[in-house]
Amino acid sequence: MIDAYEDPGTPDHRGGARYLWWLVTRQPWRCAAGAMFGSVWMVLLAATPYLMSRAIDDGLEPGDMGALALWSGALFTVGAFNSWLSIMRHRTMTRVRMDANFRTVKIVVGQAVRLGASLQRQMGAGEVVTIGVGDVQTISQSLTVVGPGVGAVVAYLVVAVLLVSVSPLIALVVLLGIPVIVLLVGPLLGRLQGTETEYRERQGVLTARIGDLAGGLRVLAGLGGKALVADAFRRDSQRLREQGYRVGAVTSWVQALGIGLPTLFLAVVTWLAARLAAQGDITVGQLVSVYGYVAVLVGPVSFWVECGYQISRGLVCARRVVRFLRLEPMPDTGIRDAPSEPSALYDPESGVRIRPGCLTALVAEHPADATTVLDRLARYTPSNATWGGMRLDEIALDQIRRRILLSDHESDLFAGTLQDMVGPASRGAGLCRSAAPPRGATSPHAPADATPHNTALQTALHTAAAEDIVQALPDGLNTRMAAQARNLSGGQRQRIRLARALLAAPEILLTVEPTSALDAHTEATVADRLREARQGRTTVVTTTSPLVLDRTDTVHYLVDGKVAASGSHHELLDTTPGYRALVARDTEEAVR
């Protein structure tokens, strides 16, 4: 089985079937062992009727107790050995499935890390969750075909040979009848793929909506929109349920035919063998063996149908995984060095120019417009943005990530201690939109014997006004935090995210709504401390809060994504009615 630290290999993402075959080739000996155990197990199941017929014809019918005891002993030995084979088959196939499961999980997680911040722009969170929760399990289950599936084919051929020795007519009926049964189920498997694909797509959309609702429930409650969104979610859930019923209807037919048709076929063959026995063409022992052979074939046929069902579902899920693996991060073609000294950032599309060493605010009628500008300035979307006169896409990406950090107010917070969430973990990928190593700043709020990192950590927490969060927790910085810090309030999470970004101490810090969930007093405190802590370094915030805007050096007012006015906060209040109306609304809300 794949080790947690083992390289999962390079997957074949040319198609769903190729990906499933690649999973098989990653563990060839285990798959071969599963096929061998499955084949021998099923062949010995078919040998049981043969041994029983010999016990009847050679021992029971002529009254030879020695022969009867001999064949009965052989029957017991084969049964005991087959029980052991069944255990080994199941154990081996479990390992095959677990290896495929863990390997796919590692590949999907690795691809998510590789895509980084570009993931959310190419695939919704619901799609990724559906892959991790449902598709991975279905893919691993479909590999059952390499064990019982192969064994079913071998058992079918062995039984066909044994039936030829009994009656060519019965052998012909069985050889032709079993493929007909499998073909009858084939169209249903094709239909199942279509309904399953649609179901998975709708499931991914609904899962994404659940995440959106969970994250925005408080906002919806404030706007009075919970009922409206709940009705839409209820309608989507009902449509998904109806699609699930359609999948279940096809699945039930597949499974019913997989059991019912072989059983009906068993009755037909038994009737034919009984007529031959009555006519004296075959013996009573051969009649018993024919019944046993065909009864044994019910298992392989059911396995074929089940394998077809699992492969059909596995292909649907594998195609979704392959589609995810085909996604590519934003290409990095930059080879030039970043400016060696603090330089201006400029976005020609919006007209925003960020002066080095200043605290700048972006105010937009539509907040998404300001966020889009920051995405371009941090090179998370293709643009003509420049840094020190050089296009950002011409500069080596690793240099941009080391010196420019974009802190999203909804960036992920991974489970662990609070110190890991803010401190050492902040240097890993995915916590902010980029990361930089912390600088050894000093702080009067840190203990005298603090290490440089702890000193910087205390400074960051102080700047973000997050010290009370640490003090309120039972174990301080060592308190275990849930994923996304769900045991904190929205405002506390926002301050933790800001502290993490400040600890990275980037040359250029771009923050999206860093104080939107804070009360007025805390917001003013953060604004004052942020200006002081980032003195001489470039800092950009998107906000409409007058408490923050009053502390900035420059404000760019955006209308439809373009700079409509620039200046200080008070200058824009006096000269720009649209800006004044936007900020005045926030002021009134803050007072209420």
pTM above 0.85, yes or no: no
pLDDT over threshold 60, residue 586: no
Residue 540, phi-psi category: left (phi > 0), alpha (psi -120 to 50), beta (remainder): beta
The answer to whether the Cα torsion of 328, 331, 337, 342 is positive or negative is negative
Contact predicate 378/510, CB 8 Å: yes
Say which amino acid occupies 357. Answer: G
Q: Which residue has the higher pLDDT, 182 or 514?
A: 514
**% the chain with pLDDT above 90:** 24
User: What is the pLDDT, as a whole number, of residue 234?
Assistant: 77
User: What is the pLDDT, as a whole number, of residue 440?
Assistant: 39
435-479 tens-digit pLDDT: 333 333 334 444 444 455 678 888 999 999 999 998 988 888 888
- The stretch 544-564 carries a mean pLDDT of 93
Say which amino acid occupies 471. Answer: Q
CA-to-CA separations, 377 to 74, 353, 385, 514, 549, in angstroms, rounded: 79, 10, 6, 17, 20
DSSP state for residue 123 in the 8-state scheme: S
Lowest mean pLDDT of 42-46, 82-86, 380-384, 587-591, name the range: 587-591
pLDDT over threshold 60, residue 587: no
Rounded Cα–Cα distance for residues 372 and 337 (Å): 25
Q: Which residue has the higher pLDDT, 372 or 205?
A: 372
pLDDT band at 572 (very low <50, low <70, confident <90, very high): very high
Per-residue burial over 114-132, b if 16 or more Cβ lie within 10 Å, else e, is ebbbebeeebbbbbbbbbe
User: What is the pLDDT, as a whole number, of residue 224?
Assistant: 54
User: What is the pLDDT, as a whole number, of residue 118?
Assistant: 76
User: What is the pLDDT, as a whole number, of residue 225?
Assistant: 55
Q: Identify any residues that bridge with 359 across adjacent strands, giving them in sequence order.
A: 539
What are residue 300's phi and psi, to 5 degrees?
-60, -40
DSSP-based three-state secondary structure for 166: helix
138-170 tens-digit pLDDT: 888 888 777 777 777 787 777 777 777 777 887
Lowest mean pLDDT of 11-20, 91-100, 198-207, 318-327, name the range: 198-207
pLDDT over threshold 70, residue 515: yes
Q: Identify any residues that bridge with 533 across adjacent strands, giving them in sequence order.
A: none
DSSP-based three-state secondary structure for 49: helix
413-427 tens-digit pLDDT: 888 888 888 875 433
199 Cβ neighbours under 8 A, 6+ residues apart: 240, 243, 244, 246, 247
What are residue 487's phi and psi, to 5 degrees?
-85, 10
pLDDT over threshold 60, residue 511: yes
Lowest mean pLDDT of 30-34, 218-222, 318-322, 326-330, name the range: 218-222
- Kindly state the tokens that stand for 8: 């999962």
pLDDT over threshold 60, residue 219: no
Tokens 């500069």 belong to which residue?
Answer: 395
User: What is the pLDDT, as a whole number, of residue 373?
Assistant: 95
Q: Identify any residues that bridge with 405 across adjacent strands, giving them in sequence order.
A: 509
What are residue 156's phi and psi, to 5 degrees?
-60, -45
User: 322: part of which helix (H) or strand (E)?
Assistant: helix 284-325
pLDDT over threshold 60, residue 434: no
Tokens 């996604």 belong to which residue?
Answer: 327
427 Cβ neighbours under 8 A, 6+ residues apart: 435, 437, 438, 504
Rounded Cα–Cα distance for residues 275 and 271 (Å): 6
471 Cβ neighbours under 8 A, 6+ residues apart: none
Q: 166-170, 177-181, 204-208, 539-543: which has the highest mean pLDDT?
A: 539-543
Rounded Cα–Cα distance for residues 354 and 325 (Å): 37
Q: Identify any residues that bridge with 554 across adjacent strands, giving them in sequence order.
A: 360
Query: If you compute the radius of gyration of the chain from its CA atoms, what whole number of angstroms results?
Result: 34
Determine what percent of the chain falls in helix, strand and coil, rounding each to the nearest 5: 70, 10, 25
Nearest to 558 by CA among 366, 291, 299: 366
- Kindly state the tokens that stand for 302: 């059911």
Lowest mean pLDDT of 12-16, 115-119, 227-231, 265-269, name the range: 227-231
End-to-end CA distance of the chain: 61
Per-residue burial over 543-574, b if 16 or more Cβ lie within 10 Å, else e, is bbbbbbbbbbebbbbbbebebbbbbebeebbe
- Kindly state the tokens that stand for 236: 């989507």
DSSP state for residue 143 in the 8-state scheme: G
Contact predicate 385/347, CB 8 Å: yes
- The stretch 489-501 carries a mean pLDDT of 89
User: What is the pLDDT, as a whole number, of residue 592?
Assistant: 37
Rounded Cα–Cα distance for residues 479 and 475 (Å): 5
Q: Identify any residues that bridge with 480 across adjacent strands, giving them in sequence order.
A: 417
What are residue 311's phi and psi, to 5 degrees?
-65, -40
- Kindly state the tokens that stand for 75: 């029957």
Q: Which residue has the higher pLDDT, 23 or 132?
A: 23
DSSP string covering 258-320, please? HHHHHHHHHHHHHHHHHHHHHTTSS-HHHHHHHHHHHHHHHHHHHHHHHHHHHHHHHHHHHHH
Planar angle of CA 543, 391, 352, nearest 5 degrees: 25
Half-sphere exposure of 385 toward its Cβ, with a 13 Å CA cutoff?
26
289-298 tens-digit pLDDT: 777 777 777 7
